[in-house]
């Protein structure tokens, strides 16, 4: 149940984060979303199966291993206790043998001499039996005499005070004492060899129950722990076996250094807090380990078996690798199926997308029933709705084009028809003055120019003229202004001959010249108006420069704001009775050149006002 909750929480968290990620990424292709959705379902199913499979098999393996550890403990405990019991029984048989009375003196004390050695040796061999329960039998009297029978057979003198176990055995009053493993060369056939042994001690009493000696039965550790040693040799990755004495001393393994024995006391110290089978984490290796223990009621020894969880779960890990390969193969199949399904679902959509991409103004409203073959009813309905919308859009677009053309024509005529009436007032005033001064030739010339100007303005047969014609109109306009200002006004016109045949909107240069005269004469005369036309590699440009004080920063900012407003709100411009204005000129020029427009307002390095109008190359000739 806990695993289910963890898996549920993981999937919900994963799906939530995945959706948030997709929202941040924005819209995606339908095929991609479908492919990922199908693939995600396959991955979730496979991961869920793998997770539950791993958990289920792992729990079975752990349960079986814990049972095996408990059974191993019981088996080793039984075999070791059996060997210790044989040692104990041997010492008890010696103690209760009636034949031992021959070795007592007149005071019924144990008497060990060289002469009774053969008799004791025969007796010990008989009691020990043919299966040799004890590898060595030693008998001590209270005077320090010792008889040895077994691996070594002789008599000797010993200092009982140096035997640290002797007084403890006497105090036990006939109960057995089991020693810890000890390393000794006392029973070696040569001085170069030694071995590990464990001894069982018991006091020897005469027929009156008085303690007159001590019996020691000795067993090699390799024979005592034969079952544990055999198990470890047989199994390369066997469980670790530890046996502790009643005092907590490590009895097995017996031949390791004391520092390692002290470290391995961790398991014995941990036992009071554990169940019979428990999971622990080794503080030294940091690995998870499964521990089982049992305590012998006979020897009081504690038997502990420990197996690493990584070894227990190795079969499922190996199987998981095989399963991983199978999962990859299944994922490969799932990827292919997901791609095939998503592609079949999105193919009609992609066909419809291509039809839409290939559609332009010329093919708008034309059907594609012969090239489009939808696989699904919904997409077929969507296509027919799109075709109906395309036909309606074609009709609306034609109407819009007609309306737009009429609007552009009306806008151009409206902008073209704006002319400063003060120009006419001032020119008529100049004619009156010239007539009063009887300057008939100047009056005739001025009237001719004014007549030609009026005809140029009122001719609506064409909205565009060659630049040559526009500049002739500008020259006539400047002649009229020269008559008015006389020597205070100077004019310089310099246009590249290659530009004179270019087509431009009518009345596109004169408003700029008019603006230059209006704001360039606000200083001490003489005043100069310069009009230059230059052809560059990437553009052609006409600059109208005055000799006044130039545009102020506020004036430039206001013009730029009005131009930005005009770009943001295209439509009929506001008419001004006092002239066309720079913004109106910009709008006419923008309608004519569109994205190739060049229009700049600023000051020259000398501080005079300059307005530049032009067009990028390869646009209009």
Residue-level pLDDT at 601: 92
CA dihedral of residues 455, 457, 460, 465 (deg, nearest 10): 100
Q: Give the pLDDT band of residue 576 (cuts 50, 70, 90).
A: very low
12-21, 429-438, 547-556: which is most confident: 547-556
Residue-level pLDDT at 570: 58
| More confident site: 133 or 428 | 133
- Whether the pLDDT of residue 361 is over 70: the answer is no
Residue-level pLDDT at 383: 66
Q: Give the pLDDT band of residue 124 (cuts 50, 70, 90).
A: confident
Average pLDDT over every residue of 403-407: 61
Whether 195 and 188 have beta carbons less than 8 Å apart is answered as: yes
333: number of Cβ within 10 Å:
11
| More confident site: 300 or 428 | 300
- Whether the pLDDT of residue 531 is over 90: the answer is yes
Q: What is the mean pLDDT of the chain?
A: 78
Whether 139 and 120 have beta carbons less than 8 Å apart is answered as: yes
Residue-level pLDDT at 439: 75
| More confident site: 62 or 74 | 74
- Whether the pLDDT of residue 443 is over 50: the answer is yes
Residue-level pLDDT at 181: 92
| More confident site: 506 or 25 | 506
Which DSSP symbol is given to 140? E
- Residues of the chain with pLDDT > 90, as a percent, come to 13
Q: Give the pLDDT band of residue 577 (cuts 50, 70, 90).
A: very low
Tokens encoding 606:
């000398």
Residue-level pLDDT at 301: 92
- Pick from 271, 270, 267, 277: nearest CA to 63: 277
Residue-level pLDDT at 572: 47
Whether 598 and 525 have beta carbons less than 8 Å apart is answered as: no
Q: Cα separation of 437 and 432, whole Å?
A: 9
Average pLDDT over every residue of 564-577: 60
Q: Cα separation of 118 and 102, whole Å?
A: 12
- Pick from 280, 287, 220, 227: nearest CA to 254: 220
Lowest mean pLDDT among 31-45, 502-516, 567-581: 567-581
In whole angstroms, how far apart are CA 352 and each of 134, 401, 420?
97, 27, 57
Half-sphere exposure of 205 (CA within 13 A, CB side): 15
β-bridge mates for residue 611, sequence order: 544, 601
Longest dimension (CA), the chain: 188
Q: Cα separation of 417 and 291, whole Å?
A: 106
DSSP secondary structure string for all residues of 572-590: PPPP-TT---HHHHHHHHH
Q: Cα separation of 312 and 63, whole Å?
A: 10
| More confident site: 117 or 192 | 117
Q: Give the pLDDT band of residue 545 (cuts 50, 70, 90).
A: very high
pLDDT digits (tens, 9 = 90+) for 210-237: 888 888 899 999 998 998 888 888 877 7
Half-sphere exposure of 533 (CA within 13 A, CB side): 17
| More confident site: 572 or 154 | 154
Average pLDDT over every residue of 417-433: 66
Residue-level pLDDT at 173: 84
Phi, psi angle pair for 582, to nearest 5°: -65, -40
Whether 509 and 545 have beta carbons less than 8 Å apart is answered as: no
Residue-level pLDDT at 578: 39
Residue-level pLDDT at 144: 84
Q: Give the pLDDT band of residue 4 (cuts 50, 70, 90).
A: very low
**511 preceded by a cis bond (ω within 30 of 0):** no
- Pick from 209, 213, 215, 211: nearest CA to 92: 215
Instruction: Extract the runs of DSSP E, i.e. beta strands, from 348-471.
Output: 464-466
Whether 251 and 315 have beta carbons less than 8 Å apart is answered as: no
- Whether the pLDDT of residue 475 is over 60: the answer is yes
Residue-level pLDDT at 207: 74
Tokens encoding 379:
């997409």
Lowest mean pLDDT among 273-282, 404-413, 441-450: 404-413
Q: Give the pLDDT band of residue 267 (cuts 50, 70, 90).
A: confident
- Whether the pLDDT of residue 426 is over 90: the answer is no
Q: Give the pLDDT band of residue 586 (cuts 50, 70, 90).
A: confident
| DSSP element (H, E) containing 613 | strand 609-616
Whether 590 and 597 have beta carbons less than 8 Å apart is answered as: yes
Q: What is the 3-class SS of 315-373, one letter each residue?
A: HHHHHHHHHHHHHHHHHHHHHHHHHHHHHHHHHHHHHHHHHHHHCCCCCCCCCCCCCCC
| More confident site: 98 or 1 | 98
CA dihedral of residues 261, 265, 266, 271 (deg, nearest 10): 150
Which residues fall within 8 angstroms of residue 550, CB to CB, at 6 or more apart? 603, 604, 607, 608, 609
Q: How far is CA 48 from the centre of its chain?
A: 22
Whether 191 and 160 have beta carbons less than 8 Å apart is answered as: no
Q: Cα separation of 80 and 502, whole Å?
A: 118
- Whether the pLDDT of residue 140 is over 50: the answer is yes
| DSSP element (H, E) containing 469 | helix 467-485
pLDDT digits (tens, 9 = 90+) for 286-302: 888 888 888 889 889 99
Q: Give the pLDDT band of residue 455 (cuts 50, 70, 90).
A: confident
Q: Give the pLDDT band of residue 508 (cuts 50, 70, 90).
A: confident
- Residues of the chain with pLDDT > 70, as a percent, come to 73
Task: Lay out the sheet containing 527-535: strands in order across.
Answer: 489-495, 527-535, 539-545, 609-616, 597-603
Q: Say yes or no: domain 97-184+195-224 is CATH 3.30.450.20.
A: yes
- Whether the pLDDT of residue 543 is over 90: the answer is yes
Q: Say yes or no: domain 461-616 is CATH 3.30.565.10.
A: yes
pLDDT digits (tens, 9 = 90+) for 236-246: 777 888 999 88
Whether 114 and 155 have beta carbons less than 8 Å apart is answered as: yes
Q: Cα separation of 242 and 73, whole Å?
A: 10
| Domain ranges for the chain | 97-184+195-224, 359-411, 461-616
Whether 511 and 576 have beta carbons less than 8 Å apart is answered as: no
pLDDT digits (tens, 9 = 90+) for 182-205: 988 888 766 557 889 999 999 988
- Whether the pLDDT of residue 394 is over 90: the answer is no
Average pLDDT over every residue of 514-527: 85
Residue-level pLDDT at 155: 84
Q: Cα separation of 573 and 410, whole Å?
A: 11
């Amino acid at each position: 149940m806990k695993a289910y909750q963890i898996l549920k929480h993981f999937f919900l968290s994963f799906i939530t984060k995945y959706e948030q990620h997709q929202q941040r990424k924005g819209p995606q292709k339908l095929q991609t979303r479908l492919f990922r959705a199908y693939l995600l379902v396959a991955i979730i199913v496979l991961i869920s199966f793998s997770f539950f499979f791993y958990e289920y098999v792992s729990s079975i393996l752990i349960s079986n291993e814990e049972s095996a550890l408990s059974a191993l403990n019981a088996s080793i405990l039984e075999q070791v206790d059996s060997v210790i019991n044989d040692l104990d029984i041997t010492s008890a048989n010696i103690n209760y043998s009636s034949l031992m009375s021959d070795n007592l003196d007149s005071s019924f004390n144990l008497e060990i001499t060289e002469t009774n050695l053969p008799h004791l040796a025969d007796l010990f061999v008989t009691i020990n039996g043919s299966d040799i329960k004890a590898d060595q039998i030693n008998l001590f009297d209270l005077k320090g005499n010792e008889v040895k029978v077994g691996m070594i057979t002789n008599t000797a003198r010993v200092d009982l005070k140096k035997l640290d176990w002797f007084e403890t055995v006497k105090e036990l009053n006939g109960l057995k004492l089991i020693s810890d493993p000890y390393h000794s060369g006392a029973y070696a056939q040569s001085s170069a060899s030694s071995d590990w042994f464990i001894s069982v001690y018991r006091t020897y009493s005469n027929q009156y129950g008085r303690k007159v000696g001590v019996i020691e039965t000795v067993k090699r550790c390799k024979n005592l722990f034969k079952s544990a040693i055999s198990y470890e040799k047989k199994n390369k990755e066997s469980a670790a076996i530890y046996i502790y004495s009643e005092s907590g001393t490590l009895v097995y393994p017996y031949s390791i250094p004391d520092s390692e024995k002290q470290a391995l006391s961790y398991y014995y110290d941990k036992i009071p807090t554990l169940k019979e089978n428990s999971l622990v984490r080794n503080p030294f290796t940091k690995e998870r380990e499964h521990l089982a223990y049992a305590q012998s009621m006979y020897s009081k020894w504690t038997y502990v078996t420990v197996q690493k969880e990584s070894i227990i779960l190795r079969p499922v890990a190996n199987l998981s690798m095989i399963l991983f390969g199978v999962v990859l193969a299944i994922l490969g199949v799932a990827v292919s199926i997901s791609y095939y399904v998503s592609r079949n679902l999105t193919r009609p959509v992609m066909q419809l997308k291509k039809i839409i991409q290939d559609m332009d103004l010329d093919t708008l409203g034309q059907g594609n029933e012969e090239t489009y073959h939808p696989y699904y009813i919904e997409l077929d309905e969507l296509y027919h709705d799109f075709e109906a919308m395309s036909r309606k859009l074609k009709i609306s677009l034609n109407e819009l084009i007609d309306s737009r053309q009429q609007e552009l024509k009306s806008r151009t005529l409206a902008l073209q028809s704006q002319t400063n009436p003060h120009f006419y007032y001032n020119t008529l005033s100049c004619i009156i003055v010239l007539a009063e001064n009887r300057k008939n030739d100047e009056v005739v010339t001025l009237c001719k120019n004014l007549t030609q100007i009026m005809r140029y303005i009122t001719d609506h047969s064409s909205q565009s003229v060659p630049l040559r014609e526009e500049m002739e109109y500008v020259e006539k306009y400047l002649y009229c202004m020269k008559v008015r200002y006389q020597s205070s006004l100077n004019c310089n016109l310099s246009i590249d001959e290659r530009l004179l045949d270019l087509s431009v909107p009518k009345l596109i240069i004169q408003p700029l010249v008019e603006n230059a005269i209006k704001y360039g004469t606000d200083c001490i005369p003489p005043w100069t108006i310069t009009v230059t036309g230059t052809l560059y590699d990437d553009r052609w440009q006409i600059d109208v420069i005055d000799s006044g004080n130039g545009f102020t920063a506020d004036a430039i900012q206001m013009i730029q704001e009005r131009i930005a407003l005009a770009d943001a709100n295209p439509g009929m411009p506001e008419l001004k009775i006092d002239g066309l204005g720079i913004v109106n000129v910009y709008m006419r020029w923008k309608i004519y050149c569109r994205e190739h427009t060049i229009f700049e307002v600023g000051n020259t390095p000398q501080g005079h006002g300059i307005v530049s109008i032009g067009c990028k190359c390869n646009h209009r000739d």
